[in-house]
Structure 1
């Protein structure tokens, strides 16, 4: 489902609204759109990309084992390196398998984030057209480095994230792996959305936590307060959880 959209800077409201035109809703359930924005640059080659792919399979399996989440969570996968790929567009897991990702190239994070934001806006327009209620979308970034995008694109990306979160258009979570520039991720993250760093390349536990989080989110009401902190013995992050 690799539809070619213009980048965020060039996308008109009309282009966004018509993007998913003709697609029919799989069911009448409230939808929760999630975009995984994943770094597949050359530094992810070897064990990291292998573990990332294993974690994605775990995520799919656990969501499919939750009847409510399986009917509500629509997952898109945007990956970035020297280019940006839509490895999976928004759909339920019952309709499309999780992709296998290959690592190569640089780290054009800005283009990856911009593409994710555009997809989110297009999907929200489609939900409205279909008469579907939806949770505030989630954009989840995972990277092991720092962006090689040009400075102007990076500043534009930061502004897009800040305005999107402040305007309640989407939620943004950032996660670092191994040599990720956590200082940069902090500069990217709006207040209240502090980035976290994984223990090593523990993608399996991370995606178990993520699936549990979205099981809780998709079974809640939109304004509910949800505690998604991992249990201490299941914590995939370097922070201590009590």
Structure 2
């Protein structure tokens, strides 16, 4: 009963914000292979991303419409296993604290994508209960290696939602080590990208500009083609 009460309170609180929401999940690979320049650059660029939205008056609308969740990986020292972890739960950017990532453990990408989809489905339920309009959800995956768990069910779910135009997935692999085909399995569109570490800023700049385009569009207007075209302009490493 308490869970229902808390959920209803959340719905009422969120419904006070009249802005249509842009639900976005960022999955950040925090496995050991990201240690060093990659994780440092990721931390620097996600900090810039938060500042660009919260401190730039040109992006004022995004402070209240971009509804973001951030996921990473957490290594359990006792079980010697790595699990998905919610770094930042869903909230509009005005309420968010900038995350800081540490690199350690493996790459449970399949279970993390499943967690992201579960969170998006619950978030959409909250929107509907609160009468909150929302745009097509976006999932951005930033990784540098191959998954260490099965991605079968997560990939199937992501593909099915994408084909129904209920999700857009944008996967990025940093460096030369990972197999890009693994990330490609999460989207029916051939848009997975391999980039250099120094090109990571382009991903976050794209996310800001895309969210802005979405926020300025009609709630029923298909913006997917436009932002995907911009995505294709990001440099391949």
SS in 1 for 2:217: coil
Q: Is the 8 A contact 1:196 1:238 kept in 2?
A: yes
User: Which residue of the partner structure matches residue 238 of structure 1?
Assistant: 236
Q: Say which of 13, 17, 32 aligns to 1:42.
A: 32
Greater helix content: 2
In structure 2, what is the equivalent of residue 13 of structure 1?
Answer: none
Gaps of 5+ in 2: 75-81
In 1, the alpha carbon distance for the partners of 2:37 and 2:169 equals: 27
Shift, 1:231, TM fit? 9.9
Listed as ranges, the matches of 1:1-242 within 5 Å are 20-23=7-10, 24-25=13-14, 27-64=17-54, 65=56, 66-80=59-73, 82-149=82-149, 153-178=150-175, 179-190=177-188, 192-222=189-219, 223-225=221-223, 227-228=226-227, 229-230=229-230, 236-238=234-236
Once the 2 structures are TM-superposed, how far is the Cα of residue 28 of structure 1 from its aligned partner? 1.0
Query: For residues 20-59 of structure 1, what are the alpha-carbon distances to aligned partners after superposition, in whole Å with 9 as ceiling and x for unaligned?
Result: 4421115111011100011100000111101001110111
For the residues of structure 2 that align with 1:44 and 1:19, how far apart are their CA atoms? 37
Whole-angstrom distance in 1 between the partners of 2:6 and 2:170: 25
1:202 is paired with a residue of what secondary structure?
helix
Could you tell me which runs of 5 or more consecutive residues in structure 1 were left unpaired when the two chains were aligned.
1-15
Q: Considering fraction of residues, name the structure with more strand.
A: 2
What CA distance in whole angstroms lies between the structure 1 residues aligned with 2:206 and 2:7?
30
Decide whether the 8 Å contact of 1:141 with 1:175 is kept in 2.
Answer: yes
- Asked whether the equivalents of residues 50 and 98 of structure 2 are also in contact (C-alpha less than 8 Å), the reply is yes
Query: TM-score under structure 2 normalisation?
Result: 0.84
Q: What is the CA RMSD across the aligned residues, in angstroms?
A: 2.3
Match of 2:127, SS state, is: helix
Any idea what SS the aligned residue of 1:35 has?
strand
TM-score, normalised to structure 1's length? 0.82
Tell me, in whole angstroms, the C-alpha distance in 2 between the residues paired with 1:125 and 1:19: 14
Displacement over 3 Å in runs of 4+: 16-21, 228-232
Equivalent residues, number = 218
**Are 1:44 and 1:144, in contact at CA under 8 Å, matched by a contact in 2?**
yes
